[in-house]
């Protein structure tokens, strides 16, 4: 299956809307597992750890959405 005129963004939006063909294209038609990000501890973490934790949380929240 090819989508030559569609952008990745539009394919992801179609997948988010539940388009069965696009879900199959991304191999998401059977579901997927994703672990919740670990809790961030400000007292022991570096700035890079904070940035990574924020990115993980944003991705997790969007996946849940």
The DSSP code sequence of the chain is ---TT--HHHHHHHHHTT-HHHHHHTT-TT----PPPPPP-TTT--HHHHHHHHHHHHHHHHHH-
Do residues 10 and 17 touch, judged by C-beta distance below 8 A?
A: no
For tokens 């750890």, the residue is 49
Assign 37 a pLDDT band (cuts: 50, 70, 90). Answer: low
Percent of the chain, pLDDT > 90? 5
Same domain, 25 and 38: no
Question: How confident is the prediction for the chain on average, in pLDDT?
Answer: 80
Same domain, 38 and 24: no
Same domain, 24 and 52: no
pLDDT at 43: 81
Same domain, 26 and 51: no
> For residue range 40-64, what is the model confidence (pLDDT) as tens digits?
787 888 888 888 888 888 887 777 7
d(CA 7, CA 62): 19
pLDDT at 21: 92
**Residues spanned by the domain of 47:** 33-65
Same domain, 26 and 42: no
Give the chain's domain count.
2
Would you say residue 14 has pLDDT above 70?
A: yes
């Amino acid at each position: 299956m090819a989508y030559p005129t569609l952008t990745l963004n539009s394919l992801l939006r179609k997948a988010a809307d539940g388009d069965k063909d696009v879900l199959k294209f991304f191999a998401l038609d059977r579901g997927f597992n994703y672990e919740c990000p670990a809790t961030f501890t400000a007292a022991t973490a570096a700035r890079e750890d904070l940035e990574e934790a924020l990115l993980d949380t944003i991705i997790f929240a969007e996946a849940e959405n």
